[in-house]
Amino acid sequence: MNIVTNINEWRQIRNNLTAKKTVGLIPTMGHLHAGHVSLCNRSRAENDVTVVSIFVNPTQFNQASDFDLYPRTIEHDCDILKSHQVDYVFIPDAKEIYQDGYQVQVSENTISAELEGLSRPGHFNGVLTVVLKLLNIIQPMRAYFGEKDYQQLLLVKKMVNALCVPTEIVGCETIRDKDGLALSSRNTRLNEMQRKQAAHFPRLLQSALKPEQIAEELKTLGFKVDYIVEQWERRLGAVWLDEVRLIDNFLF
């Protein structure tokens, strides 16, 4: 496995790959778990070369404290990727990615104006901007995203289509723990008691209750509810459990 830390180094590698070799990209912010591994396995099955990017993107965080607290486990992540035979890991720093100081941004004004966009102003500008940069740098045939962040997946697909980016965006099924909670890097911030409480969120989200009933039940259980809605043929929800924000969705 090769670790690449700057754009020019990757471009030299990319130029040396034969035209017949297909490249798959998994964009991540690190602190990898079984969900990320499933994306790597999918990419390896469908491409000749698999690249995983690890970049904690500062422009998609609404709170500096959330950015600072985001877990960073580069050595452990690289061990995981090496054991799953990933070919390249791209680990740039913020100065490399935002050479313009984030003066140029990608925005969308419809899907991004609701749900996560309402709760986290500017979040999707940061997401779309960094994803477009990574697609332009890596130049993959396919890029893989989990369906847990379903609104994000819709926006990335829309951006790629609108801006004529020659990359197929592949949505992959959410990977869950035994108790049904969607795997997320943020979950490691939950203590044992919170972790048990968090399992109520996916259980209720996929129940037969109506969205407003689910919201009331979650509040009774100690959650702060951002939204529970039925949209895009999905039931989507976002809640706070103390200082940790959880999002999830199920096919409706």
Sorted by where each starts, the structural domains of the chain and their CATH numbers stand as 2-172 (3.40.50.620), 185-246 (3.30.1300.10)
Count Cβ atoms within 10 A of the Cβ of residue 223 and give its class: 0-12 exposed, 13-18 middle, 19 or more buried.
buried
Report the 3 state secondary structure along 177-200.
CCCCCECCHHHHHCCHHHHHHHCH
Q: Residue 26 pLDDT > 90, yes or no?
A: yes
Q: Residue 18 pLDDT > 90, yes or no?
A: no
Residues serving a catalytic function are: 36
Q: Residue 232 pLDDT > 90, yes or no?
A: yes
Average pLDDT of the chain is: 96
Structure confidence at residue 60 (pLDDT): 95
Confidence at 17, pLDDT banded by 50, 70, 90: very high
Q: Mind listing the pLDDT tens digit for each residue in 65-88? A: 888 888 899 999 999 999 999 999
Q: Mind listing the pLDDT tens digit for each residue in 181-201? A: 999 988 888 999 999 999 999
Structure confidence at residue 62 (pLDDT): 84
Structure confidence at residue 107 (pLDDT): 97
pTM for this prediction: 0.95
Structure confidence at residue 19 (pLDDT): 79
Q: Residue 225 pLDDT > 90, yes or no?
A: yes
Structure confidence at residue 66 (pLDDT): 83
Cβ–Cβ < 8 Å for 92, 72: no
Q: Mind listing the pLDDT tens digit for each residue in 82-109? A: 999 999 999 999 999 999 999 999 999 9
% of the chain residues with pLDDT over 70: 100
Confidence at 248, pLDDT banded by 50, 70, 90: very high
19-22: long-range pairs with CB below 8 Å, 24+: 20/48, 21/48, 21/49, 22/46, 22/47, 22/48, 22/49, 22/141, 22/142
